[in-house]
């Protein structure tokens, strides 16, 4: 047996009961696009009394000592009685299909590590994967399922097509005196190809899994997607071999299919390729995983901005000189460089490194060219940050330059309220539909 230590994101302090040897340290970094961007999910350093544990902006579950001790990191922001409802944030993000490619960087699943047994309500990763998968499937169905060649094996009467399967024909026909029948294998062109069968198989798993969550807001959202997508797979079989799933490689020329197949394989592996495990309650087994809350906050702010600004007015991830800016807002009222920082420090103060970073972005020649600003003028800078008490639920009518960071010229900040859920709730994904989101 092993034990699990439960902490909140951002925890920083001594933990005396870790099973690491007294002089041993432990850390794990979250993978990013560029190796230099890797950030520590967890860091444990030896001290005179116990170990010092530092957690950053990641939630999830992972091993500290493999098969002996694990750590479970809950989502939290500011209030002890409430947890950040990360899934409600994701639902908001996925209202804009163009955000889907960015969600690939939201989580890491360590499938090469032993699974960890946790309570079902502690499973943060499966609902996230399911929501992403449903949105990918919805996008695929809107464009239409793709056709492909696939092998068919049929017992034909009075004719031969393709390759004769001699052994099958003898067993099924000749020994039973069915002399006019022949088992043949040949190719057909249609919707019943491997990719569509794999997607349908995962959809059936999702359909069985969703009712076990006792959803109050996400249920309607997901059922609408299932009602829209399932009829498109009516003529597609769900017969598929496990080895075929494991060895398959998605076609990179069909990006949405590649995403869908990747998520489908994760879903099937999560449930051990056994659909009865989708209805499992109480204790479940999950691979170690981490979810990047700072990235999710950035994308949540992007969704709020997209409600207000069109594509010409809002630039996301403007890249120049090997630098990547979060947002550039270019309207008649606002010409500014903005960044999303998942830090509570901005409620009362600021982070000097953030100020330097955003200021540097606003001094780039390419940014001046994009905003068509004369070089003798200072470009406005803006930081979005979470604030459960004084933040904004949306940004539609907000004056982005209303609150300044007084220590700096032309520097502003805008607080954002994040959806939350009570810690005592039976699971983390209640009240996720936009109309039911609970705010602090």
Can you give the three-state secondary structure of 360-411, one letter per residue?
Answer: HHCCCHHHHHHHCCCCCCCCEEEEEEECCCCCECCCCCCCCCCCECCCCCCE
pLDDT band of residue 273 (cuts 50, 70, 90) is: confident
Number of helices (H), then strands (E), in the chain = 10, 22
Angle between helices 194-209 and 218-229 (to 10 degrees): 150
Give the distance from CA 24 to its chain's centroid: 32
Q: Tell me the range of 9-13, 222-226, 247-251 where mean pLDDT is highest.
A: 9-13
Mean pLDDT across the chain:
84
Helix (H/G/I), strand (E/B), else coil: 324: strand
Q: Is the pLDDT of residue 339 over 80?
A: yes
**215 or 185, higher pLDDT:** 185
Minimal CA–CA distance to 76: which of 161, 11, 145?
11
Which structure tokens are listed for 178? Answer: 């069915």
Tell me what the mean pLDDT of segment 102-107 comes to.
Answer: 84
Tell me what the mean pLDDT of segment 152-160 comes to.
Answer: 88
Q: Is the pLDDT of residue 153 over 50?
A: yes
Q: Is the pLDDT of residue 291 over 50?
A: yes
CA dist., res. 45 & res. 52, Å (int): 5
Q: Lowest-confidence range among 238-242, 280-284, 326-330?
A: 280-284
**Residue count (the chain):** 440
Q: Is the pLDDT of residue 255 over 80?
A: no
Q: Is the pLDDT of residue 381 over 80?
A: yes
Tell me what the mean pLDDT of segment 126-154 comes to.
Answer: 88
Where does 47-169 show beta strands of DSSP type E?
A: 51-55, 58-65, 69-74, 82-84, 107-109, 116-119, 148-157, 163-164
**95 or 63, higher pLDDT:** 63
Which structure tokens are listed for 153? Answer: 């094996």
CB-CB contact of 407 with 437 (8 Å)? no
**pLDDT of the residue at 428:** 39
pLDDT digits (tens, 9 = 90+) for 189-202: 999 888 899 999 99
Q: Is the pLDDT of residue 207 over 80?
A: yes
Tell me what the mean pLDDT of segment 96-125 comes to.
Answer: 84
Q: For Cα atoms 73, 98, 237, give the angle at the middle one, nearest 5 degrees.
A: 85
CB-CB contact of 134 with 225 (8 Å)? yes
Q: Lowest-confidence range among 101-110, 149-158, 298-307, 425-434?
A: 425-434
pLDDT band of residue 275 (cuts 50, 70, 90) is: confident
Return the number of other C-beta atoms located less than 10 Å from residue 307's C-beta.
12
pLDDT band of residue 430 (cuts 50, 70, 90) is: very low
Which structure tokens are listed for 312? Answer: 């010409």
**pLDDT of the residue at 160:** 86
Tokens 């499992």 -> residue: 280
pLDDT band of residue 397 (cuts 50, 70, 90) is: very high
Domain extents in the chain: 1-74, 111-147+192-287, 149-190, 294-421
Q: Lowest-confidence range among 38-42, 205-209, 290-294?
A: 38-42
Region of residue 299 (phi > 0: left; psi between -120 and 50: alpha; otherwise: beta): alpha
Which structure tokens are listed for 134? Answer: 């449903």
pLDDT band of residue 215 (cuts 50, 70, 90) is: very low
Cα 370 to Cα 302, 315, 319: the distances in Å are 19, 10, 12
Strand partners, 156: 182
Q: Lowest-confidence range among 48-57, 143-152, 306-315, 427-436?
A: 427-436
Q: Over pLDDT 90: what percentage of the chain? A: 37
Helix (H/G/I), strand (E/B), else coil: 107: strand
**pLDDT of the residue at 62:** 94
pLDDT band of residue 78 (cuts 50, 70, 90) is: low
Minimal CA–CA distance to 110: which of 266, 291, 289?
289
Residues 6+ apart with CB under 8 A from 215: 222, 429, 430, 432
């Amino acid at each position: 047996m092993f034990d699990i230590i439960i902490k909140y994101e951002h925890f920083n302090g001594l933990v005396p009961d870790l099973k690491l040897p007294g002089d041993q340290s432990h850390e794990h970094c979250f993978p990013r696009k560029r190796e230099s961007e890797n950030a520590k999910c967890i860091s444990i350093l030896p001290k005179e009394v116990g170990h010092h544990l530092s957690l950053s902006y990641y939630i999830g579950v992972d091993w500290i000592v493999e098969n002996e001790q694990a750590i479970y990191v809950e989502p939290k922001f500011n209030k002890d009685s409430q947890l950040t409802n990360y899934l409600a944030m994701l639902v908001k993000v996925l209202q804009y299909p163009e955000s889907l490619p960015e969600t690939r960087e939201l989580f890491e699943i360590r499938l090469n590590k032993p699974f960890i047994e946790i309570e079902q309500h502690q499973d943060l990763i499966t609902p996230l994967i399911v929501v992403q998968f449903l949105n990918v499937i919805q996008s695929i169905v809107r464009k239409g399922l793709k056709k492909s060649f696939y092998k068919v094996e049929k017992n034909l009467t009075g004719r031969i097509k393709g390759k004769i399967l001699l052994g099958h024909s003898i067993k099924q026909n000749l020994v039973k005196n069915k002399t006019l029948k022949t088992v043949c294998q040949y190719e057909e062109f249609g919707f019943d190809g491997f990719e569509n069968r794999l997607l349908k198989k995962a959809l059936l798993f999702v359909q069985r899994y969703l009712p076990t969550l006792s959803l109050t807001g996400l249920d309607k959202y997901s059922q609408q997607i299932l009602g829209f997508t399932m009829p498109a797979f009516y003529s597609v079989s769900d017969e598929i071999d496990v080895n075929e799933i494991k060895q398959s490689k998605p076609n990179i020329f069909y990006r949405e299919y590649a995403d869908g197949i990747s998520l489908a394989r994760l879903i099937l592996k999560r449930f051990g390729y056994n659909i009865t495990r989708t209805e499992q309650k109480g204790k479940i087994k999950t691979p170690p995983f981490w979810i990047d809350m700072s990235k999710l906050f950035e994308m949540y702010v992007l969704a709020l901005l997209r409600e207000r600004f069109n594509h010409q007015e809002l630039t996301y991830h403007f890249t120049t000189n090997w630098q990547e800016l979060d947002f550039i807002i270019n309207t008649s009222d606002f010409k500014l460089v903005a960044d999303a920082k998942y830090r509570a420090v901005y409620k009362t103060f600021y982070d000097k490194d953030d100020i330097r970073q955003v200021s540097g972005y606003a001094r780039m020649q390419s940014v001046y060219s994009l905003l068509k600003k004369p070089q003798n003028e200072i470009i406005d800078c803006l930081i979005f940050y979470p604030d459960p008490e004084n933040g904004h639920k949306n940004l539609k009518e907000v004056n982005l330059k209303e609150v300044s960071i007084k220590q700096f010229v032309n520097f502003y900040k805008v607080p954002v309220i994040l959806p939350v859920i009570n810690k005592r709730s039976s699971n983390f994904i209640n009240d996720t539909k936009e109309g039911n989101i609970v705010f602090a």
